[in-house]
Chains A and B, each alone.
Chain A
Amino acid sequence: MSFLTIERLTKVYDSITAVDGISLDIERGEFVSLLGPSGCGKTTTLQMIAGFVDVTSGRILLEGQDLARVHPARRGLGIVFQSYALFPHMTVAENVGFGLEMRKVNRADRDRRVAAALQLVGLSAMADRYPKRMSGGQQQRVALARALVIEPHLLLLDEPLSNLDAKLREEMQGELRDIQERTGLTTILVTHDQAEAMALSDRIVVMSKGRIEQIDAPEAAYQVPATRFVADFLGRTNTVEGDCAGAAVSVAGETWTVPGGAPAGPVHVAVRPERVTFAETGLAGTVRKRVFQGSQWYFEVESVVGPLAVLAPNGRGRVPAVDEAVRLTWSADDMRVLPREAVR
């Protein structure tokens, strides 16, 4: 029996199906991310677990208990809301202490635990501020402290780091992961930032239009995307058309020998931009765009099989100029071959 089980969960608003029959099992101590584009139903799913959005159909079981019969106030979940939802009329310390007050923790213990939680999120100096007088990032950290201080069994995070600057976000990601590993706190993180999902999670759940596209460990989902949507959403992917005969896959006259072989006939070939390299021979093309991204260069090349994205590490060899004629290739290990009709 999993810690949290979601069975065919569906939410229909008047005309929109926000969540369309998703099923998911989460183990105790696991860190799972719900990842997907805006409007795919991530927040709705989280709010149904929290009990603030009514379930249209399906079940949610926490430690075997059907949550439909547990009032939201007694679910004991730590929640960070997408809009922070801080109490504007309470100071930071009062905000963080509210949950403990509801649990009738005595004054001294409460003060101690609030101070520890604020220390954890680096806001000790702001305990007496009101939320409206803080930056978005600081408010988010207050919300996180408020959710953590009650020591919940399950932590629900709705884009808790979206408003932080890059450096602080990385720090807080590390902090989150540390807390999670130390306390063994089961965590569900909603995010549309794939890097964040991959950096933090044991498993990621890729969602699109209210459905689950893939549930997998981050590397697996990235390396072996189950659907074309996942391939496009988790980093960019070049998809070109080719033909397969036995173990030989040919794309515009170039041939690769694929180890496992593939079904014969027309196929789609998917290759990650970072796997495509400039070479002496290969698919002909012309550089249309070149962008410097610090550690790497990003190119858009108009090739014989259509536009291809290429990522090349900075400082390795010559960098082609815009409008230069180039040739592109990749190794047989880096291509994923799918029969053409199977591709969604």
Chain B
Amino acid sequence: MSAVAATPGRPATTLRVRGTYAPYLLSLPALAVMGVLLLVPLAMTLVLSLHSFGMYTGISSDYALANYVDVFTDPYFGEIFLRTLRISLCTTLLAAVLGAPEAYILHRMSSPWRSIFLLVMLGPLLISVIARTLGWAMLLGATGVVNQTLIALGLIQTPVEFMYAETGVVVALAHVLMPFMVISVWAALQKLDPQVENAAVSLGAGQATVLRRVVLPQIMPGILSGSIIVFALAASSFATPSIIGGRRLKVAATLAYDEFLSTLNWPLGATIAVLLLAANIVIIVGCNRLVERRYQQVFQ
């Protein structure tokens, strides 16, 4: 439309100026939404974390790093952050070890089955996290299906403690987050040229060698980016650890929640939230940089 309006009589400069600002003007609505919904609450949380809290005085409006000092010096918090890290790493590892082969098998399936199983694979995304986690709680409980089966098979005498233990949280989280890994590896597999595998075969490579030397290195970026997503979601996950882990086995997100809603110590809750975000950002950006530096030369 503007091309029609730009009659020869008009000075060309208006067009050029409009051209320069157009991208900024056009992204303004999105920026405004992001600003209001994300940056403002984030800034408020940051400010809140600097205030102090008294059991009888409530939230005061001073500014101090006391909350941060508390979190860093109290081993109670250290243990929870360490547990969050451990659970997230184990979840990521499990999701990668199961998800990557799963995506490859899916990729090798023939046409009708491939889309059916992809749907089965991604189906859980359509079900609420709560419902899926409660399902795991039923499976993993002391009288749950898994323990009963193991006892019936004579493999164990007493039930294994999955519930309220890290193992259970890791298993349930890995299941909940698996689709993200599969999608990410799947995308990497789509970019493979099938002839490259054939080339390796023609040069004398067996199936296992082709997988290890040709396929795996090529989908490694997909596995790593999937890992970053799974790690980030696991570290900040709330529903699964709070249902499977319960009150006792706290992670950073459930800890922040408890500080906000049970203890009503909002500043401390805000501090934990800010630290979780910061740790997540540092780890993710660091990994991403590493991945990019490693693969930049090869794939661009």
A contact residues vs B (CB 8 Å cutoff): 50, 52, 72-79, 81-83, 85-89, 98-99, 102-103, 130, 132-133, 146, 150
Contact = CB atoms under 8 A, between A and B. Distances in A.
Interface string B214-233: 10011000000000000000
A73 B202 contact: yes
Q: Classify chain B: how many residues form its interface, as a range.
A: 20 to 34
A75 B198 CA distance: 12
Interface string B5-33: 00000000000000000000000000000
Query: Counting chain A CB atoms within 10 Å of each CB, which of B200, B218, B298 scores highest?
Result: B298
A110 B274 CA distance: 56
B120 interface: no
Sorted nearest first, the 4 A-B pairs with minimum C-beta distance are A99-B203, A102-B204, A85-B195, A85-B199
A89 B201 contact: no
B203 A132 contact: no
30 contacts: A52-B198, A52-B201, A72-B201, A73-B201, A73-B205, A73-B206, A74-B204, A75-B202, A76-B204, A77-B202, A79-B198, A81-B195, A81-B199, A82-B195, A85-B198, A86-B196, A87-B200, A88-B196, A89-B298, A98-B200, A98-B203, A99-B203, A99-B204, A102-B203, A102-B205, A130-B298, A132-B298, A133-B297, A146-B199, A146-B203
Contacts of B214: 87
Given A85-B198, A87-B196, A98-B203, 10 more contacts: A52-B201, A76-B204, A81-B195, A82-B195, A83-B193, A86-B196, A99-B203, A102-B203, A132-B300, A150-B203
B76 interface: no
A110 to B, nearest CB: 13
B202 A102 contact: no
Contacts of B300: 132
Contact of B202 (A72, A86, A130, A133): A72
Interface string B166-194: 00000000000000000000000000010
Contacts of A50: 198, 202
A89 B202 contact: no
A75 B193 CA distance: 22
B299 interface: yes
Contacts of A98: 200, 203, 205, 213
B195 A83 contact: yes
Looking at chain B's contact residues, is the secondary structure mostly helix, strand, loop, or mixed?
Answer: helix
B61 interface: no
Contacts of B297: 130, 133
Contacts of A73: 201-202, 204-206
A85 B196 contact: yes
B149 interface: no
A72 B200 CA distance: 10
Given A81-B198, A83-B195, A88 B206 contact: no
B202 to A, nearest CB: 5
Nearest to B206: A73
A280 B300 CA distance: 64
Contacts of B143: none
B209 interface: yes
Contacts of A130: 297-298
Contact of A79 (B199, B205, B218, B298): B199
Contacts of B195: 52, 81-83, 85
A73 B198 CA distance: 9
Nearest to B221: A89
Query: Counting chain A CB atoms within 10 Å of each CB, which of B199, B203, B205, B218 scores highest?
Result: B203
Query: Counting chain A CB atoms within 10 Å of each CB, which of B193, B201, B213, B299 scores highest?
Result: B201
Contact of B298 (A74, A76, A85, A88): A88
Given A72-B201, A89-B217, A89-B218, A132 B299 contact: yes
A280 B58 CA distance: 115
Contacts of B203: 98-99, 102, 146, 150
Contact of A88 (B198, B209, B299): B299
